[in-house]
């Protein structure tokens, strides 16, 4: 007798989709796949922190101000640290630009890759207290300079975004 599931047991996950797309590109190195996996992991870690925020006492202000002049919340700082650490350890990025930092983050030379990632790790964090919508925003660009990465690598038109 055939089993009838209400849950799709052959679900299309983000990882499955990205791997399938990578196979369609001759000569793909897997760097973009590795980077997207790191971003996916960062987003999952941020989501887990947001879910546990009350129990872990992560609500409240961190006592810092971001580049927009907004007071940073504890979850903003934690989310930013998660993104930066996971992106650096992916060995695919050279420069990280975050709404939460005053300056760009240059990845250590031995960990550098060919991508620049611009991100807001926890967009809408001011809505957390009232259970409003929040999320993570990112854009990926290919590095344009040779030598040491610089701000020009991040200051590209949106048409140049890889993802």
Structural domains of the chain, with CATH: 30-160 (3.30.540.10)
**For residues 21 and 37, what is the distance between their CA atoms, to the nearest angstrom?**
13
Mean pLDDT for each consecutive 10-residue tract of the chain (163 residues)? 74 92 93 97 93 70 70 84 98 96 94 97 78 89 92 93 91
Tell me the CA distances in angstroms from 121 to 7, 109, 135, one per residue in order. Answer: 30, 23, 7
Among 86, 80, 82, 114, which residue's Cα sits nearest to residue 98?
A: 80
117 within 8 A of 97, measured Cβ to Cβ = yes
* Predicted local confidence at residue 142, as pLDDT: 96
* Predicted local confidence at residue 58, as pLDDT: 66
Tokens of 102: 């005053």
Query: Rounded to two decimals, what is the model's pTM?
Result: 0.85
In sequence order, what are the beta bridge partners of 97?
118
**For residues 119 and 161, what is the distance between their CA atoms, to the nearest angstrom?**
13
Tokens of 90: 């992916």
Give 30's DSSP letter: S
**For residues 151 and 144, what is the distance between their CA atoms, to the nearest angstrom?**
10
Among 133, 153, 132, which residue's Cα sits nearest to residue 141?
A: 153
* Predicted local confidence at residue 9, as pLDDT: 86
């Amino acid at each position: 007798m055939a089993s009838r599931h209400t849950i799709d047991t052959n679900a299309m996950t983000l990882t499955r989709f990205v791997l399938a797309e990578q196979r369609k590109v001759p000569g793909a190195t897997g760097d973009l796949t590795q980077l997207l996996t790191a971003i996916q992991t960062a987003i999952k870690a941020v989501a887990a922190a947001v879910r546990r925020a009350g129990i872990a006492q992560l609500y409240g202000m961190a006592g810092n101000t971001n580049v927009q002049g907004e007071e940073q919340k504890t979850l903003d700082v934690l989310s930013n640290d998660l993104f930066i650490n996971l992106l650096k350890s992916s060995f695919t990025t050279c420069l990280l630009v975050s709404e939460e930092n005053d300056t760009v983050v240059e990845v250590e030379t031995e960990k550098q890759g060919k991508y620049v990632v611009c991100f807001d790790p926890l967009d809408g964090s001011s809505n957390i207290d009232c259970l409003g919508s929040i999320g993570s925003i990112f854009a990926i660009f290919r590095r344009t300079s040779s030598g040491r990465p610089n701000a020009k690598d991040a200051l590209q038109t949106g048409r140049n975004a890889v993802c």
